[in-house]
Chain A
Amino acid sequence: MAAAPKKKNAGSAKPDTEPGPPVLAWIMGGLGLALLLTCLAVILSQGLGETRPPDIRPRLVEVRAADGQWLAEIEVRNTGGETAADVQIEGRAGGETASVTVDYVPAGGKAAVVLGFTQNPRSDLHLRVRGWTEP
Chain B
Amino acid sequence: MTTHALEAARETHYRRDLGRAFGGALLFGLPLLMTMEMWRYGLTLDPVRLAVFLLSGLPLLLGLAVFAGFSRSQGLVHALVDVFAALAVGFVTTGFLLVLIGVIDGEAPLRPATGQIVLQAVPAAMGALLARRQFGADRNDAEKAESRYSGELFLMVAGALFLSLNIAPTEETRLIAYRLAPWPAVGLMLLSVGLMHAIVYLVGFAGQEEQGHPLTAFVHFTLAGYGLVLLTGVYVLWLFGALDGHGVFETAKTIVVLGFPGAIGAAAARLLV
Contacts and interface: CB of A to CB of B under 8 A. Distances in A.
Interface of A: 3, 6-7, 10-12, 14, 18-26, 28-33, 35-36, 39-40, 42-48, 83, 85, 103-104, 106-110, 135
Given A18-B74, A35-B91, A44-B47, A30 B84 contact: yes
Contact of A32 (B9, B43, B74, B88): B88
A28 B91 CA distance: 11
Contact of A39 (B46, B74, B107, B114): B114
Interface centre among B6, B11, B72 (most CB of A within 10 A): B6
A80 to B, nearest CB: 11
A19 B10 contact: yes
Interface of B is mostly: helix
A95 to B, nearest CB: 35
B118 A39 contact: yes
Interface centre among A14, A36, A104, A107 (most CB of B within 10 A): A36
Given A36-B54, A39-B118, A25 B85 contact: yes
B47 A24 contact: no
A101 B190 CA distance: 42
Interface in B32-53: 40, 43-44, 46-48, 50-51
A11 B72 contact: yes
Nearest to B8: A10
A103 B118 contact: no
B80 interface: yes
